[in-house]
Structure 1
């Protein structure tokens, strides 16, 4: 591991100034992703600015009819909060589908938003990677790419975003509160993460000297008709090959409103407003769900090892929408370690 300096500011403004003052400085809280990246020599921060004890960022509060989740709220605290379980069960299910209980006890909401891809080549410093070293190439395109993206890719990168939490947040139309030298701003979750384009090294629209302070959930949480379906190589502690967050507002047997977000298929949580619009006002039938799936995946592209994901995603979308419409969410293994 490389040498680095360490500081622990007492306020958000101090943290921002500390990162701004030194090139190559990084924020750290739970460290469940950053420390791994440092061990693999992927990240080499010159300074760690520990924000894990900043006051006021570890609370979930009522705000504007919804909930404001502080950036330091742990994944466990988020998933098991009674208000989240009752009003936003989709989010609770998604968080509980990720990582292990021990990691969820340490990982934070802000860190989950910013976690980096699990692409094999990104982690292997002996191979080229445009995300790690821009301009060196993307060996995944013609290499081992079972876990890689089928939507929104570019010739420069086919990595996927690994978060389960963010897929649910995308479906719920959450927003992210950030603070930087220029003051506070709010970013819609849909605009927070980026597609790779010709700058795959940039995962999000967050500035290098900005810090996430909270996530804002709108009032509507779809507590009756939802599901989080995660398909992976093993049930425990594995990232999604394909995941689907589906949330519906039903009017009898018809769909009044639809939200649909996919994980494991793109560089960011993937939503298709056209597919959601197609479902509105339609009867909740397998045929309608199949049409929506076809629309979501119309531009999907496989790269050999991951081509199976296109059919897997199609089936997952149909299954998830069927579960949401019936009010029978995908069960999860609930293992709570206090």
Structure 2
């Protein structure tokens, strides 16, 4: 295990207690809403925020352990960090920005520039070498910041919301850049994001943090397909219900029933995607086994669809076309029927 960390930090009323473990060459995504504790965790790993309790070890070496009075300063941790703001030196060229790390580690100027040239080549940024940061786009600045962090050849790379300040097209470009470069990195990468797509596309392991605690952790596909809390389901864009199953019938916590296509027994979760929910203004006359009369609590664009938030006996999400919004006259407060086919529901143990 290259990274083994128990991170205990207290800041005012906020208490963070998170366990992170990762092998060499792996990418761990910390996913969660603003204020969950993700950035505090990476700042602790970097040595910018001291631990109150716990221990951080990298490649078997303790970087911080309050109980043993060990705390390596940030500059001695062999860690590269990239923030949401690239923080490039405005008076240095791209080449000299990338050379800065090796220079700080004692390399002579010529050697540091050769290292920078090599990393610019590896990251396909050599055409930008002579430019100043003000001449770069937002995506280019972030790519240079990543190359600068990698040029120090760290054992751990920390990326704190690297795509959050970029527009959609630039985010897609940077995500592709990260996918290629991080697969070549033989250290541990910890990626902080509030975007589930970043986590699912880039990471080997997803750790969902909420309120300073890990609410779920596992491979991306498992977390995405089997959320274990409403919070995780919301991040993954799924509907999640919980209840007691007998055969193919689940008695939900609110007392209503859900019919499924597969039999199970005991306490279970039932999940289904928003596109599996069909809306109508009157009681539906379909073969769908599950229906609820609910109230429209909100509407928001979601790609090519409109995501409808529904409240009532069940709290659901439904994705419909813009034309369906107009046809059904969907507005806040409107009463609608939501139906879901039994075959669309995935069931798994709590």
Q: TM-score, normalised by structure 1?
A: 0.21
Work out which of the two has the higher radius of gyration on C-alpha atoms and give 1 or 2: 2
Q: Which protein is richer in strand relative to its size?
A: 2
Q: TM-score, normalised by structure 2?
A: 0.21
